[in-house]
Structure 1
Amino acid sequence: MKRLGFLIALALATPALALPPLATVKPINDGLRAVMIADQIRIACPSIAARMIAGWSFIRSLEAQARDMGYSAGQIEEFVESSAQRKRLEGEAAAYMKAGGVVGGQPETYCALGREEIEKGSQIGAFLRVK
């Protein structure tokens, strides 16, 4: 009877131990969005370049953080390769850049945002440098 009680308690506790979808993990999403914004700035702005090693190191740290939280390599890969998640993050990145004054087709607006992020010492700015 004690064993049955233990199994019931374990079964009831399991849902509480389930991991939330990676899309809801704020540090992972904020980090990926920052990398995405920095990449778009460096592509559009001819006077700003990427700090590629910093970017790749940061992405690896996000992967390690997700693993430490209990996500499997398969779950992480599925999330990162999901076109729906990419579109969601692209939308968030576009909204951030628009709020920062970026206008599509106007490289100088990307440059202004990039310089501002570098000067602020933000996560986005950490992935960029002025040429």
Structure 2
Amino acid sequence: MRAMTMALILSLTAGSVSAKPHLRDVPAIDGTILAVGIADEIRKNCPDISARLLRAYSVINGLKSTARDMGYTDEEIDAYRKSDTEKARLKAKRVAYLEDGGVNPNQPASYCTLGREEIEKGGQIGALLRMN
């Protein structure tokens, strides 16, 4: 009986240890989606900057592959991707990032300034943008 109890405890514990975090809690996924959204917002509002579309598509397609490699199903990925709650959360983070970067929604030049800074930094956001 003791052996069965231990086996049950171990199997329950193993299941909880192997549980995957929600995709919003996976920085490689959530952070990349946020970066793509920020880059998209910059390019839509700054006439001097455009998107590196092939790179952006490659990054987005790579996310699904990365999530699958981490053990997420297509259903889990699609639920996260289509969730209105997640979209609103990411939009709020995007707006905060833009504001922290000095963007004023009524001044397109402020998007350009942040966009140039991101391109110069060469980070995830800047890599998705280019000067026209």
Aligning the two structures, in what range does the TM-score lie when normalised by the shorter sequence? over 0.9
The equivalent residue for 2:28 is 27
Q: Deviations over 1:24-78 (max 9, x none)?
A: 1112111000000000001000111100110010111111111111110100000
Superposition pairs for residues 3-42 of structure 1, below 5 Å? 4=4, 6-42=7-43
Equivalent residue letter for 1:54? R
- Unpaired runs of 5+ residues, structure 2, are none
Find the residue that maps to 2:113 and give its secondary structure. Answer: helix
Are 2:117 and 1:124 equivalent residues in the alignment?
Answer: no
Structural RMSD (CA): 1.6
The 2-side partners of 1:115 and 1:9 are apart by 54
Equivalent residue pairs, number: 131
The 1-side partners of 2:118 and 2:10 are apart by 50
The equivalent residue for 1:96 is 97
The 2-side partners of 1:10 and 1:44 are apart by 53
The 1-side partners of 2:11 and 2:104 are apart by 54
Find the residue that maps to 2:102 and give its secondary structure. Answer: coil
Shift of residue 9, structure 1, vs aligned partner = 2.3
Superposition pairs for residues 2-81 of structure 1, below 5 Å? 4=4, 6-81=7-82
Shift of residue 8, structure 1, vs aligned partner = 4.6
The equivalent residue for 2:108 is 107
Provide the TM-score with structure 2 as the length reference: 0.92
Q: Deviations over 1:68-89 (max 9, x none)?
A: 1111010000001101101101
Find the residue that maps to 1:129 and give its secondary structure. Answer: strand
- Unpaired runs of 5+ residues, structure 1, are none
Q: Deviations over 1:68-123 (max 9, x none)?
A: 11110100000011011011011111111111110012100001100110011011
The 1-side partners of 2:116 and 2:89 are apart by 25
